[in-house]
Structure 1
Amino acid sequence: MENLLEMRDIGKSYGEDIILSGLSFTLARGMAIAIIGHSGGGKTTLLSIMGLLQKATSGQVRIDGLDIAGLSSAMLAKLRGQYISFVFQRARLINSLTALENVIAPAWFIRRGENLEQQAQALLAHFGLSHRLHHKPQELSLGQLRRISLARALLLKPPILLADEPTNDLDPALAGEVAACLLAARQAGSGVVIVTHDVGLAAQADQTFRLADGALHSVACQ
């Protein structure tokens, strides 16, 4: 399989506080990887480095074969827009926009000219939110906000999809629905990385790692 994301000997520290040390990781197209570990262990930091939101202190990051070392902030932003989409634990929606507008907004800059509104409506309908298209974030529940965030990410059709605790605080039925949609992105060729405490979700990934002592350790989930 073709590698979308490669990280070699990644280190991340804040002063004397070492978060990641000598960490290596490869994500291929059509593959879903779950990362588990205790809170405060560096999972979100690792995800931010994968998503080009933070820079590693040491090591090498490649996106689709391109070494990002030395790239300007503008080039990193462009690369992130082309390759990466996020599902954050907090929905991070724009309060002045409706649910439908929030889903469309990021894709509009990348896929302008396509029938984005129809596709966004179809995604929201899939998540049972057709009756909430014109509601604003402050009028919606946590579960609804999470589903809107996922629809926004999926509309981008990203090569790399990064999810930070996507099923946290959701009831089992909704968590299962969100998990299924994330994992289904593999079928379109996306590489998916899920940071989670949800052992059931981790067990559905193609590969599971535990982040401990700044390094990734393979886990056999049953």
Structure 2
Amino acid sequence: MNTLLELRNIEKKYGDDVIISKVSFTLAKGTAIAIIGHSGGGKTTLLSIMGLLQRATSGNVLVDAIDIGGLDSYQLANLRGQYLGFVFQRARLINSLTALENVMAPAWFIRRGDKIEQQAKDLLERFGLSHRLDHKPQELSLGQLRRISLARALLLKPPILLADEPTNDLDPALAKEVAECLLTARTEGAGVVIVTHDLNLANQTDQTFHLENGTLKPIIYDNAAS
């Protein structure tokens, strides 16, 4: 089946405030999608629903055709571990763990061994952090923390990658590196969703959507215009 993630008529309310309104969305294998919109418009909320981190008020979320509506918290955690990788705007690393241990942390819940450790080291070397393996988050720069978060997301090669403002506050060279790593995941069949204000990054994806007033609409570019 080509569809990795599907939202059907998703609505999210906080009291009487409608944050997400009847959003339907499909993510296919090997595609990257960008979601843009103004700050506070619900983009992170929508991404959290896609990532099974919070539940919608109504509608259906399907991961690889599995409707998550009847799943308990333990089952949702297992599904996240099997299918999802996250790159948060704030790295959300564990301060008591080293860089290497933070990258390996999700793998501890699934499998252990030297092979996983070596793969984690290889990713950190790829991102220029082989000299920071034993450093803890408070000893690292913002750019280093973001790269560790990306390595953590990529370690188990999840079918679905979700990224929240992955290039925000990074210098142009590092932003380009992070973007390339996310977009390259398409070549291995992953589906990628990126919430971003970076229009240069959005333009490199397969489709861009605009979230406004809780409604998600595709942006159609007129390539025929001269």
| SS of residue in 1 equivalent to 2:109 | helix
Aligned to 1:150: 150
Q: State the superposition RMSD in angstroms.
A: 1.3
Deviation at 1:122, TM superposition (A): 1.0
| SS of residue in 2 equivalent to 1:115 | helix
Tell me which amino acid in the other structure corresponds to 1:210.
H
Aligned to 2:181: 181
1:99-130 residue CA offsets vs partner (Å, 9 max, x unmatched):
11111111132233460111111111111111
1:42-77 residue CA offsets vs partner (Å, 9 max, x unmatched):
000000000001111111111100111121111111
Aligned to 1:22: 22
Aligned to 2:106: 106
Regions of 4+ moved over 2 Å? 111-114
Q: Does structure 2 retain, via aligned residues, the 8 Å contact 1:108–1:116?
A: no
Deviation at 1:93, TM superposition (A): 0.7
Tell me which amino acid in the other structure corresponds to 1:97.
L
Partners in 1 of 2:15 and 2:97 — Cα distance? 40
Single out whichever of 106-115 and 148-157 deviates more from structure 2.
106-115
The number of equivalent residue pairs is 222
Q: Unaligned 5+ residue runs, structure 2?
A: none
Aligned to 2:117: 117
TM-score, structure 2 length as denominator?
Answer: 0.95
| SS of residue in 2 equivalent to 1:110 | coil
Q: Does structure 2 retain, via aligned residues, the 8 Å contact 1:103–1:151?
A: yes
Partners in 2 of 1:104 and 1:80 — Cα distance? 16
TM-score, structure 1 length as denominator?
Answer: 0.97
Tell me which amino acid in the other structure corresponds to 2:195.
V
Q: How does 1:1-222 map to 2 (within 5 A)?
A: 2-113=2-113, 115-220=115-220
1:145-187 residue CA offsets vs partner (Å, 9 max, x unmatched):
0000000000021111100000000000000000000011111
Partners in 2 of 1:9 and 1:212 — Cα distance? 16
